[in-house]
Chain A
Amino acid sequence: MSSSAPSPSRTRTEPAPVRWALIITALLFLGLFLFVPLAAVFAQAFEKGWDAYLAAIREPDALAAVKLTLITAAISVPVNLIFGVVAAWAIAKFEFRGKQLLITLIDLPFSVSPVISGLIYVLLFGLQGWLGPWLQAHDIKIIFAVPGIVLATVFVTFPFVARELIPLMEAQGKDEEEAAITLGASGFQTFWRVTIPNIKWGLLYGVILCNARAMGEFGAVSVVSGHIRGSTNTIPLHVEILYNEYNYVAAFAVASLLALLALVTLVVKSFVEWRMRELS
């Protein structure tokens, strides 16, 4: 860039004042819309100091919310992880009709409003729903209970792992697996020794995004939860209750846990992206 001769790169960049104006505008926009909210979460969480912060997080209802969130993620992430790997195997290693449609359908939960993602389960399992009377007769609670929360979370996090693995495995092709099989490896051996090492970073990438959404989902979970304090509240729902009670310090303290999760997710994500670029 700094060479004095009119290098070819000169033709690919703008005069310095334009360049600076663009950079400053972009940074102002990002500062206003990204950095201010990011800083505000933590500033508000610590507004009344460490003690108030810790008290808000250690409060029994908050701990119950953390526990439920962890349970929800511990179920929905593995379930969707297995699905993602299986679906990517079928789609990337074989040719069949309707493949494109299948990929579109797998992506479907991303384009559905979170509120609708919750509503459909209410229509299925709610008291007025298809299975509602049967469930009530057998004293099984799904809606306004933990199973509903897990189901809605599984729905909204459904595509994450699959959509990460499908393009990755398609790009890698199937030569290595075919070679392993031809040399006498079994299907499972091929999968564990050949495929998994090839896709591990993509897998981690999908899992980390899936987990962030599973722990942070609000709209869908809000519809099916019933908002019972200490029982059917996830962390985001607990934040909402505290906020609506004007308990701002506690709301932001608990919210800061989720903001922290978001930051950790971004760090891991950047690391994985860097690894994948190194490898390719």
Chain B
Amino acid sequence: MATRPITRNTVIPGFTPTLGYTVFYLSLIVLLPLSALVVKTASLTWGEFFATVTAPRVVASYKVTFGAALAAAGVNALFGLLVAWVLVRYRLPGKRFIDALVDFPFALPTAVAGITLSSVYAANGWLGQYLEPRGIKVAFTPVGIFVAMTFIGLPFVVRTVQPVLEELEQEVEEAAACLGANRWQTFRRVLLPELLPALLTGFALAFARGVGEYGSIIFIAGNMPMVSEITPLLIITKLEQYDYAGATAIATVMLLFSFLMLLTVNLLQKWSRRHAA
């Protein structure tokens, strides 16, 4: 397949209409509306824009949003790797069920996740009743934001690491073992470098998802300005106050971040493909 020259003509019909429709529909639904955001931002002066996106309340929201997303992605990288490892390598009863359940945060509407987590971690909730007496307040604090982001980011690392782990050739590990490496050394020196691109991709995806997340967080966060108010919520607050310019300016910052993450993920995937080849 790879030997086929890319410019080869094909007898298959429909190139112009299908590509035309694709570009048209993409422009109509995605590119045109997104450009409205850019144009609206461009109507602000640099001073206005800068003042809006660096206001203390906004900066505080960046800190809590990015901080919690980073922590959640970190936890997901660690435990996602562990879950993927257990699912691929070990035999355990109900593995199919567990494997399917990993996608639950992906399938569950975020508002449902939000009210559920909030009730589970509230002072009288299933987990909250044990945590709060020990001084661990989760619901209505930044910790709650971290918990919600961990929940929604969970599938990303598992689902990026799992296929790579399945494809690993066992000869490499056997060779390491024959050369006298113990299991930990084999893991550290042989397996982990192989898994690293996928692990980082999963981390980046979980991080990006956490930063943009809204529904599952607002119910558990408490939404206190300067403390537990996430950036997406701040956009909505500005919008409800008819401060369209302010909402747009903050949205532009988040959009730029999204593009940056998209680029990072694309580069990571390119790296991981080259790694696999």
Contacts and interface: CB of A to CB of B under 8 A. Distances in A.
A29 B25 CA distance: 42
B277 interface: no
Interface in A84-103: 86-87, 89-91, 93-96, 102
A89 B18 CA distance: 7
Interface string A91-121: 1011110000010111111011111100111
Nearest to B14: A187
Given A122-B239, A270-B96, A90 B86 contact: no
A60 interface: no
A181 B102 contact: no
Contacts of A237: 111
Interface in A141-164: 151, 154-155, 158
Given A111-B262, A219-B214, A29 B82 contact: yes
Given A33-B150, A266-B103, A87 B18 contact: yes
B12 A236 contact: no
A178 B11 contact: yes
Contacts of B36: 120, 123-124, 129-130
Given A114-B214, A123-B248, A258-B109, A94 B19 contact: yes
Question: Could you tell me the dominant secondary structure of chain B's interface residues?
Answer: helix
Interface in A1-45: 1, 8, 11-15, 18-19, 22-23, 25-27, 29-30, 32-38, 40-41, 44
Nearest to B4: A173
Contact of B101 (A30, A252, A255): A30
Given A105-B31, A114-B212, A116-B255, A40 B86 contact: no
A206 interface: no
B111 A218 contact: yes
Top 10 nearest A-B pairs (CB, nearest first) are A216-B109, A113-B212, A11-B177, A218-B215, A219-B214, A90-B18, A262-B107, A120-B33, A187-B13, A236-B111
Interface of B: 1, 6-8, 10-15, 18-19, 21-23, 25-26, 29-34, 36-37, 40, 79, 82-83, 85-86, 89-92, 96, 98-105, 107-113, 115-117, 119-120, 125-127, 150-151, 154, 170, 173-174, 177-178, 183, 208, 211-215, 219, 232-233, 235-236, 239, 242, 244, 247-248, 251, 254-255, 258-259, 261-262, 266
Interface of A: 1, 8, 11-15, 18-19, 22-23, 25-27, 29-30, 32-38, 40-41, 44, 83, 86-87, 89-91, 93-96, 102, 104-109, 111-116, 119-124, 126, 128-130, 151, 154-155, 158, 173-174, 177-178, 181-182, 187, 190, 209, 212, 215-219, 222-223, 235-237, 239-240, 243, 248, 251-252, 255, 258-259, 261-263, 265-267, 269-270
